[in-house]
Structure 1
Amino acid sequence: MSDHLDLPTNLWRLIRRVPALLASVFVAVSLLAPAVQAAEAQPAVADPELERRMLEITSELRCLVCQNQTVAGSSAGLADDLREQVREMLHKGASNEEIISFMTARYGDFVLYRPPVKTTTVLLWAGPTVLMIGGVAMLIVVLRRRSRMPAEAFDPDEDEDSAATGRT
C-alpha cells in the first residue's frame, strides 16, 4: 500500500495546492474588500449656496440617534433624513429660522445642539456644575471625617490579628 492512499497523482497535486489557492483567494478578497466597503460618492450639488445653508443649519441641530454629534456630522440614517428634509425646506424657500423653529416644534429643544437657557433646559446647563460641586462637597466631608478618626482605626495589623483569632 502506498503512502498516498492510492489516489491518482493529479489529485495529490491538487490537494497539495489547496493551501496556496486558499491563501490566494484570501489575499484577493482582502484587497477587494475596501472597494466593496467604499461609500457611494455624493452627487454634485446643484446649488452650492443652498448646500452651505443646509450645512449651517444642520450644524446647529443635534442628531437624535448619536446625541453627541450634530446632524451635519452624523452618519446615522435619521441624520440623513433630517439633512434631506432641511434641503427640501430650503428649496421651498424657508428661512434658517423657520427650519430651526420647525425642527424645535417637532422634536423639542433637545434637537438644538446648543439649547437656550430657560426653565425647561436649566438642568442641562446647571446639572453638570451642580453634580461637580456636590461631588467636591462629599469628598471634603469624607476627608474631614477621616482626619478626625483615631489612627488605630486604620491599623492593618489589628485587623489581621482579629481575623486570625476569630474576634471582631
Structure 2
Amino acid sequence: MKKRATLFLAVLVALIAASPLRAVQPDEVLPDPAQEARARALSRELRCMVCQNQSIDDSDAPLAKDLRLLVRERIKAGDDDRAVLDFLVTRYGEFVLLRPSWHGANVILWTAPFLILIGGGLAIWLRARWRESAAATVPALSAEERRKFDELMSKSDDSITNV
C-alpha cells in the first residue's frame, strides 16, 4: 500500500513539473521588461480562440502564439493597453476578451437568467394567489344542489356494485 502511495505521489509530482506554467516562448519575450510586463498582463486578459477558456498567455496553441506576437507588435509600435485591446476586439470580436465589457447585448446575456428566474417565481406566486382567490369565491352548494349531488353519487355507487 505504501509503495502505491509513493508511486502515485511521484507520478503526480512529475506531471505537475512537466506541465508548462506559461506558454510564452523565449523568442517571444520583449527586451524591455516594462513592455514585456504589459504584454503578459494583456495576454492574461485575452482568450485563446482554440482553447476558449484559457488565456493566450497559458495556451500552447499556434493561434495563441500568433495573438501573443500581435500584442507584442502593437506594444512595440507604441499602442497603449486600451488601443491594443480595441484593435483585437475590432479584429476578432468581443469573444477574444476573457472578461467581456458590460454593455449592449452582453447586459442581456448576463442578466437574462436572473430575470427568467424572477419572472418564473413571480408567475408561480401569482398563480397561487389566483387559485386561492378562485377557491374562496366558489359558493357552497344549495340544499337542492346537495340533494341532487347525493342522488347522483348513490346512482353511481349502485352502477359500480352491479358490475
TM-score by length of 2: 0.52
Question: What is the RMSD computed on CA atoms of the aligned residues?
Answer: 3.6
Measure the CA separation in 2 of the matches of 1:74 and 1:133.
Answer: 39
Per the alignment, residue 102 of structure 1 pairs with: 87
Pick the aligned partner of 1:90 from 72, 75, 78: 75
Contact 2:45 2:55 (8 Å CA) reproduced: yes
Which ranges in structure 1 are unaligned for 5 or more consecutive residues?
1-36, 145-168
Q: Matches of 1:48 and 1:84 in 2, distance apart? A: 16
Equivalent position of 1:43 in the other structure: 26
Give, as a single letter, the amino acid of the residue that structure 2 aligns with 1:104. Answer: V
Counterpart of 2:66 in structure 1 is 81
Structure 2 equivalent of residue 122 of structure 1? 107
For residue 63 of structure 1, the aligned residue among 41, 48, 67 is 48
In the alignment, residue 122 of structure 1 is paired with which amino acid? V
Cα distance in 2 between the residues matched to 1:136 and 1:87 = 50
Query: Structure 1 residues 127-136 or 41-50, which shifts more?
Result: 127-136
Task: Work out the percentage of aligned pairs sharing the same amino acid.
Answer: 42
Secondary structure in 1 matching 2:46: coil
Query: Number of matched residues?
Result: 112
What do residues 28-50 of structure 1 show as CA deviations (whole Å, max 9, x unaligned)? xxxxxxxxx99999327422221
TM-score normalised by the chain length of structure 1: 0.51
Aligned equivalents of 1:55, 1:136: Cα separation in 2: 45
CA displacement 1:137-166 (0-9 Å, x = unmatched): 9xx89xx9xxxxxxxxxxxxxxxxxxxxxx
